[in-house]
Amino acid sequence: MTRRPRRLRRDGVRPLVSETDLSADDLIVPVFVDATADERVPIESMPGHERVPVAEAAARVREIRETGIRVVMVFGVPESKDPRGSRAWAEDGVVQRAVRRITDGTDASVITDVCLCEYTDHGHCGVLDPDAADDPVLTVANDETLDLLRKIAVSHAEAGAEMVAPSGMIDGMVGAIRGALDDAGFADVPVMSYAAKYESAFYGPFRDAADGAPAFGDRRHYQMDPANAREAVREVALDVEQGADVLMVKPALAYLNVVRAVRERFDHPVAAYNVSGEYAMLHAAADRGWLDLEAVAHESLLSIKRAGADLILTYFAEDLASRL
Ligand code: PBG
């Protein structure tokens, strides 16, 4: 036989021909900062993760830095909620305070999630459309929400965010935020768009962690239909036109074809968000002794990169980086 693929699988050769690498530089750790907590609170459905008080934000990020990871994504749980989510853009809001502490107290880079669902009392990702008040699935008023997203992004940049990441799937959000950042003197702050974000049941544990579940209805009028892949390419193209710097697909594992499609169509860096449910299910199976956690976590992240992601947001980041 002249062709024997197995020759390249011998231990001495295999690493040389490996096509995909994972490195701490490609990983981003989500961090939950909770303005209502005075001590760290473990998140039950996301083993190893916790909500930390603002005072602990820098300490938490220093732990992450020890694994070699440089970048965190900050999510906030505010002290109070209202219909417009006004604590999301407050100068003394939870994310704004946490970002100041992290940038003062560590050398990490901070990305902030720009959304309203953790800040509105109804849990939707924007202000509600009053005309839809008797609709069983109330819908978010798109263009009114853009004004709020502008304010949130600028307040995050003022606090020291290195990059902002709008996650609300509001039409025009990237362009609105880009314009607001430019006008406020933050032309150098990039926008990582949650460009193709699906209405996914895999966000369950996160919604407990960040207290951002919708109080009624669901998000299917603004997040994407899991049935659609071609539509993702159209969604992403709009964000590219509006000036997105990094394009994210979310979730990751169940949407690897979308990661691949975005990789093939665009030259921008592609990010994938390996979401809370993807993390929780591997932990749950490993707890029962059904899967080897380290092995499946590594294989999952490798697969996300192989599909075409340059960066990965993942709750496995610290475990993986400490083993690299
Ligand atoms: C919304 C947001 C969500 C996640 C990140 N940003 C939740 C949602 O859209 O309902 C989910 C992340 C995860 O599940 O790990 N601001």
Which phi and psi (to 5°) does residue 199 adopt? -80, 90
Tokens of 170: 């509001």
Average pLDDT, the chain: 95
* Tokens 């603002």, residue located: 54
| Residue-level pLDDT at 287 | 97
* Nearest residue by C-alpha to atom 11 in ligand 1: 203
CB-based contact 186:156 (threshold 8 Å)? no
279 CA closest ligand 1 atom index: 15
Sequence-distant (6+) residues with CB within 8 A of 152 are 88, 89, 114, 115, 116
pLDDT in tens, 91-104: 999 999 999 999 99
Q: Is the pLDDT of residue 136 over 70?
A: no
Helices then strands (H, E): number in the chain?
Answer: 10, 10
| Residue-level pLDDT at 163 | 98
pLDDT (mean) for 3-20: 96
| Residue-level pLDDT at 143 | 94
205 CA closest ligand 1 atom index: 14
pLDDT in tens, 196-246: 999 999 999 998 788 778 888 888 889 999 999 999 999 999 999 999 999
Choose from 137-146, 174-183, 218-227 the range with maximum mean pLDDT: 174-183
Cα–Cα distance for residue pair 220/21, rounded to 1 Å: 35
Tell me the CA–centroid distance for residue 299 and ligand 1, in Å.
23
Give the percent of the chain with pLDDT over 90: 89
| Residue-level pLDDT at 215 | 82
**Cβ < 6 A, ligand 1 pocket:** 113, 115, 117, 167, 203, 206-207, 212, 275-276
Tell me the CA–centroid distance for residue 74 and ligand 1, in Å.
12
Structural domains of the chain ordered from first start: 21-321 (3.20.20.70)
pLDDT (mean) for 105-112: 98
* Nearest residue by C-alpha to atom 5 in ligand 1: 167
Q: Which of 146, 233, 157 is nearest to 195 (CA)?
A: 233
pLDDT (mean) for 262-290: 98
Tell me the CA–centroid distance for residue 12 and ligand 1, in Å.
42
Give the percent of the chain with pLDDT over 70: 98
Q: What's the number of CA atoms in the CB half-sphere (13 Å) around residue 174?
A: 22
CB-based contact 310:260 (threshold 8 Å)? no
274 CA closest ligand 1 atom index: 15
- pLDDT bin (cut points 50, 70, 90) of residue 137 is low
Tell me the CA–centroid distance for residue 115 and ligand 1, in Å.
9
Tell me the CA–centroid distance for residue 290 and ligand 1, in Å.
27
Of 115, 173, 208, 218, the one to substitute when testing ligand 1's pocket (max ligand atoms within 8 A of C-beta) is: 115
Least confident of 12-16, 37-41, 104-108, 129-133: 129-133
CB-CB neighbours of 133 under 10 Å: 8
Q: Is the pLDDT of residue 135 over 70?
A: no
Of 275, 278, 281, 304, the one to substitute when testing ligand 1's pocket (max ligand atoms within 8 A of C-beta) is: 275
| Residue-level pLDDT at 317 | 98
71: three-class secondary structure by DSSP: strand
pLDDT in tens, 285-322: 999 999 999 999 999 999 999 999 999 999 999 999 99
CB-based contact 58:13 (threshold 8 Å)? no
Sequence-distant (6+) residues with CB within 8 A of 246 are 163, 190, 191, 192, 193, 268, 269, 270, 271, 311
Sequence-distant (6+) residues with CB within 8 A of 16 are none
| Residue-level pLDDT at 134 | 62
Q: Is the pLDDT of residue 267 over 70?
A: yes
Residues classed as catalytic: 197, 250
Per-residue buried b or exposed e for 309-319, using 16+ beta carbons within 10 Å of the residue's own CB: bebbbbbbbbe
| Residue-level pLDDT at 254 | 97
* Tokens 């008040």, residue located: 133
